[in-house]
Structure 1
Amino acid sequence: MAGRDGFGTLLKRGDGATPTEVFTAIANPTNISGPNLTRNTIDVTAHDSPNRHMEFVGGLINPGEVSIDINYDPDVHDTLVEDLEDEDPRNYQLVFPAPITATWAFAAVMTGFQQTAPYDGKLTATLTFQVSGKPTIS
């Protein structure tokens, strides 16, 4: 099967409301990456491990980070800087475009907000989030 077109993918930020949380897309994304899940391994090698080969079992899974590059608009995006001050994870959704029906839902803490203002180009920013807990895929 050929690859899928990623155009139209959204990273949505939850408002924290209960009982029904509302998710709003972070405006002007140009690139979204993550979550980049990795699994730690635990060395269980013993003196009697077969054939003198190290042995491992799966350890904890690190849900990794999500980053989003945006066409930066201070009037739209500066309110997101407040998320850096928040110690508690916020809910996010990574929503893929039709005909893909997958949505990744996860809690995350914002860990970075980096703007770039070149003299000969557009304003951009990269927002980075540390995922907390297991993402759900629906």
Structure 2
Amino acid sequence: MANKYAAKGVTFGYGSPLVTVASVKSISGPKLSAEQIDVTTHDSSGSYREFVQSFKDSGEVTLNLVYDPSDTTQGNSTGLLSLFNSGAVTAMAISYPMTSPVKKLTFTGIVIGYEWGNAEISSALEATVTVKVSGAVTLA
């Protein structure tokens, strides 16, 4: 029977050595996909189209943060905002510490979006960060 895990404790990190981003509320992605090429010919059997896989895309990762302007992992000097401003391709990982041994999705990526959320009177300051994965994602 397959194990089941609560998502509590999952982390996102960047750089080498890995720096864990503070105050992450949620992580979504990456979403792997592949282009397909239609290779249907007049003699394809059964009147069905045929396809082969082409280039793969590792998609994007979205982080929802409780925004802390003074936190170095989120900020402009060394954090995610700095990675957005520089455009640097950086080593990144999503860690699942509840598994034994700990599993990680590792990849390189670029920060392509940094959005500050609404400053509503009854909610926390938030930010959303979008990372474009460059190349393959490895689960180890």
TM-score scaled by length of structure 1: 0.89
Q: Helix, strand or coil for the counterpart of 2:75?
A: helix
Letter in 2 for 1:91: A
Task: Decide whether the 8 Å contact of 2:94 with 2:106 is kept in 1.
Answer: yes
Number of the residue aligned with 1:29:
24
For these two proteins, the number of residue pairs brought into alignment is 132
**Offset of residue 86 of structure 1:** 2.1
Task: Decide whether the 8 Å contact of 1:7 with 1:97 is kept in 2.
Answer: no
Q: Helix, strand or coil for the counterpart of 1:74?
A: coil
Q: Helix, strand or coil for the counterpart of 1:118?
A: coil
Identical amino acids, percent of aligned pairs: 28
- After TM superposition, list the pairs within 5 Å mapping 1:1-138 onto structure 2: 1=2, 3-14=4-15, 21-76=16-71, 77-79=74-76, 80-100=80-100, 101-116=102-117, 117-138=119-140
Task: Decide whether the 8 Å contact of 2:90 with 2:108 is kept in 1.
Answer: yes
Aligned Cα RMSD in Å?
1.4
TM-score scaled by length of structure 2: 0.87
Task: Decide whether the 8 Å contact of 1:114 with 1:125 is kept in 2.
Answer: yes
**Offset of residue 88 of structure 1:** 3.2
Output the CA distance in 2 between the equivalents of 1:22 and 1:13.
8
**Which ranges of structure 2 fall in alignment gaps of 5 or more residues?**
none
Number of the residue aligned with 1:18:
none
Task: Decide whether the 8 Å contact of 1:30 with 1:71 is kept in 2.
Answer: yes
Task: Decide whether the 8 Å contact of 2:40 with 2:51 is kept in 1.
Answer: yes
Q: Helix, strand or coil for the counterpart of 1:82?
A: helix
Runs of 4+ displaced beyond 4 Å: none
Q: Helix, strand or coil for the counterpart of 1:75?
A: coil
